Amino acid sequence: MGTQTKGFCKYCGKEYTRSGMLRHLEACKERKSKLAMETYKRKCRYFQIVISGKYAKAYWLIVEVSENTTLKELDQFIRDIWVECCGHLSAFTIHGTQYESCPVTDRFWGEPSKNMNYRLKDVVNVGDSISYEYDFGSTTELMLSIHSCREGEKKKREIIILSRNNPPKILCSNCEQNEAKWVNPEGYCEGVPFWCDKCLGAENEGEEEEGCERQFLVPICNSPRMGVCGYAGSDRYPDLFEPDKR
């Protein structure tokens, strides 16, 4: 999955790769006219943040977040769209400091860690790279980069998705022809992690030896946590990002 995935621009629906999208968002006419309608009576800054899988770089999100958003709210968003399976711990690391979802306050282990009740404006700046970990056992590692910042009308705090990678096409590792629908997390070592429905059917008719045991299968989903700890995708966000206009 080293292929460069593309995604749609929220405003005009054009399709670009991650780096192409970052350039496009600065020039997008639809976006410019939308922003020109803001009133600027009360202002605040918005950070544009690129979130990607540290290793699974095919997965990326470009979001716009008010400077008043807390790390906790950002954590919740990441959980909702990409990683939440069964309420594991998570942490951001910013300039060497850890901000944890459930901080250790026992001084015995050294400096107590910080919680996530910090506003972005107090902990990040444009150009910063932040690392994020979800689940300290089967960890999903993400990188967040604070790409840019703009001033705009102060609104209810929310995280706006400007673009998101379209689901990468993953081929069945058995037939290498059909699009895979299922991932077998145990199958990575045997080299057959991905399965299409057809091969699964054939497999299940024959004597069940090696290959693939159905109870371990989880659906393919558009997330760097696909298949980890039974993660089966978000129930709040569809895998395919729908732009405002297409």
- CA 212 – CA 90 distance, rounded (Å): 31
Considering CB under 5 A, how many residues would be counted as binding Zn ion? Answer: 13
Q: What's the per-residue H, E or C state across the chain?
A: CCCCCEEECCCCCCEEEHHHHHHHHHHCHHHHHHHHCCCCCCEEEEEEEEEEECCCCCCEEEEEEECCCEHHHHHHHHHHHHHCCCCCCEEEEECCEEEECCCCCCHHHCCCCECCCCEHHHHCCCCCEEEEEECCCCCEEEEEEEEEEEEEECCCCCEEEEEEECCCCCECCCCCCCECCEECHHHCCCCCCEECHHHHHHHHHCCCCCCCCHHHCEECCCCCCCCHHHCCCCCCCCCCCCCCCC
3-state secondary structure (DSSP) of residue 5: coil
| The only residue of 172, 183, 218, 220 in contact with Zn ion, by rule CB under 5 A | 172
Pick 9 or 61: Cβ nearer Zn ion: 9
Pick 123 or 203: Cβ nearer Zn ion: 203
| The only residue of 178, 186, 216, 239 in contact with Zn ion, by rule CB under 5 A | 178
CB of 183 to Zn ion, least distance (A): 13
CB of 10 to Zn ion, least distance (A): 7
Stretch that binds Zn ion, among 65-73, 97-105, 191-199, 218-226 (CB under 5 A): 191-199
CB of 234 to Zn ion, least distance (A): 14
CB of 171 to Zn ion, least distance (A): 8
CB of 85 to Zn ion, least distance (A): 3
CB of 156 to Zn ion, least distance (A): 23
| The only residue of 48, 174, 184, 234 in contact with Zn ion, by rule CB under 5 A | 174
What does the per-residue mask of binding to Zn ion show for 59-98, with x meaning CB under 5 A? --------------------------xx------------
Is residue 9 close enough to count as binding Zn ion by CB under 5 A?
yes
Binding site for Zn ion (CB under 5 A): 9, 11-12, 28, 85-86, 172, 174-175, 178, 196, 199, 229
